[in-house]
Chains A and B, each alone.
Chain A
Amino acid sequence: MIGLLPVLVLLPLAAAAALALLRPTDAQTARWSALVVSLSTLAISLYATYELSQARPLRTTDPVAPRYELRQTWMTVPRLGDAPDVRLEFYLGLDGVSALLISLTAILTTTAILLSWNRIREGRTAYFACILALESGLIGSFCAFDLLLFYVCFEFTLIPIFFLIGIWGGQERRRAAGRFVLFTLCGSLATLGGILALGAAAAERWNLATPFSIPDVAAAVAIDPLPFALQVGLMLAIGLGFAVKIPLVPFHTWQPLTYVEAPTAVTVLLSGTVLKMGAYGLFRICMPLLPDAVESIGVPIVATLSVIGIVYGALCALSQSDMKRLVAYSSLSHLGFVTLGLFALNVEGTTGGVLQMINHGLSTGAIFLFVGMIEQRYGTRDLGRFGGLATRLPALAVCMIFVCFASAGLPMLNGFVGEYLSLSGMFARNPAYAIVGASGVVLGAWYLLTLIQRTFFGPVREPQTEGPPPPDLRLREFAAAFPLMALCLAIGLYPKPLTDLIQPDVDRVVRLYDFNPVTPQVASAETAEESDDR
């Protein structure tokens, strides 16, 4: 089991390197091997998730505790004075939350590869190499339990995304690629500064040999928190990079352009998984390591920005005439529920937030998928030029309507579970945010139904196309979309396996924010030693 973790990270990377060495003409080999690699990664990740759900729960009370872990020294960084050296580690681990996100990444990567099967015309080997490299970076960041390793993977994803958008994107691809990389790079440099300062503070204060190990620092924080002012500074610095990535509202300006210009498969990956790195970073780093700042400063800031994002994104989505842009704003709006739920800081809300990360990945990814299929058939995304497509493309219409319902939060589908949990969790913390946020559900239903109504119903209007009339859903397209839709339904009907999986991890984190905090029985010195020994 433990041996599978590095395989999960390195298999796509090795395959990407191998693909990059192929001749550009070997397109057939490239896409088949990419598919095989992504399917094997998917199989491994599902197996790992299954194993995890069967494993005995850990009995530790540490706020962050991976249930499987693999630690390897990467380099030792000196500390001034007589104190021992600081170890940076390749520290891979797996807990419920990361296992789910890894599985989501593997599913969406397979989807993206199937979706780009025929659509990418030139440089296919390089394209599939980039997709696999991106998968590797994403999985790496989701199973990194070392702050720096997380940052390394977080940053590494920029490289394949830059090429994916810049080479295979739409008209404005160069501007979109440059803007995306510069925005997120500037944000994440602040994160890097914050992470390093946090590591320095951890080394100084608790004398940790591994001050970048998230579980070790979290255990120390639970007993002896950092000074409040330092926590606030660190949270603002670290949070900035995540806020740009998620994106929270004032930092979202890169998003519409990027989503619209990126090839559809990449948009699916961006909205489904890449942005989750930001939310995951908030959950994995800010919440357990900086509890006081998160509770007093983080909640008002993040919750306010989230509800602004929910409403603003929904209003923008309402006024779009470009389908892809509409879904981009809808993604912005729905991500608000993720951060709103996470920062409710209670079991209900945070579970909902994590669940909503998965749901958002599935349903928004699926909507982008179908929008991409329509665009491929007609060569346009202009809403005004469509109408009554349900009679022309019945199967596609049914699927699209289904995923729009899932995204809009219809009961019995996955969006409902996540949004309900998020909002009710937030209601317990601060009803005002929850009430404003709930308006987003209504607005969401409004614009998604408008999208469906204008595209699929009414008199038939379709843009002129050359050649035979566009075919209905193809088998390959259905194969790409079916797992997402099946999961939407399954999670909506019976979310318990998923909540069971993430509950223990969420429990341990939100215990920090409990109204009756568990007072640690052991003296701080002993625990510091313990965490050194681990």
Chain B
Amino acid sequence: MAWKWQAKKRNRIILTVVCFLITFFFFFPILWWFLCSLKPYGDIFHLPPIFIFKPTLTWYQVVLGGVFYQSTELAQTGAITGEGGGLYYSIPYLRDSTIIATVSTALVIAIASLAAYGLSRFNFRRRENLVFWILSTRMMPPIVAALPFYLMYLNIQNMFRSNPNMPTFLRNFQMIDTYHGIIILHTIMNLPLAILMLKSFFDDVPRELDEATLVDGGNRLHAFWIVLHYIRPGLAATAILSFIFSWNEFLLTLVLTKGGVRTMPVAASTFITAYGVEWGYLAALGSAAMVPVFIFILLVQQHLVRGLTLGAVKG
């Protein structure tokens, strides 16, 4: 909605410059982080900040390429400073993150699309209450869920371990520090968002479409399948958001893993050692982990508002 003063060309140029400056401020930390991942050791700490330097891929070679960190350390600093024990090779962390995010997203979409269809297509008593309850589970602080889940997982493990009636191959059954343990939690965590977002997409498709299918002799599953095809973009957006939230989740993974499974955010937090923070490695890992997320989010940009407000505001 254009206001009058904008009609002047000069004003519009000033406006554009101001907006670009603001956007640059928001982009700067990301840019800086990315530049750090390419800087030689000394330049990372240089003030005033340097923007022109001889880029190096050393940090990436260690983090993604498995080059032994001590040789890099020696070449960069002239001494072996890092005492992290060479845990900077991060492909396993990215792999764990990918597995957990992918599987939990698939589960979320499966469960949530059924529930969203049910909420959107059937009239039943107290439906609004059910929607509100689902909404309220989105408010659950992760720390409050982490406590009972940790203890419950421990109990389940003990149940298997101390029980002589269990078959031998199940006696080592674990919940803590496993993919399935984290996947269960991430799935439940992302469900409210996915259900409400998908419900708002289902609501956009007229019910007559279902009824036409039912009249033609199909059952509800056919109708569901057809409507699902209509909301494919919404489905993709929901899947991507749920993937990102799982990819970025920190607290639940932190308390429910002990190093056997380690996602990217948790791994990054361990790069802070007693000897200081290994900024080069950290920046390389952080940048590598951000690239897929950035691509994903730009793909579903137009549905982002709806997702973040749980279907309340349609962007």
- Do A and B originate from a single complex? no
- B interface vs A, CB < 8 Å? none
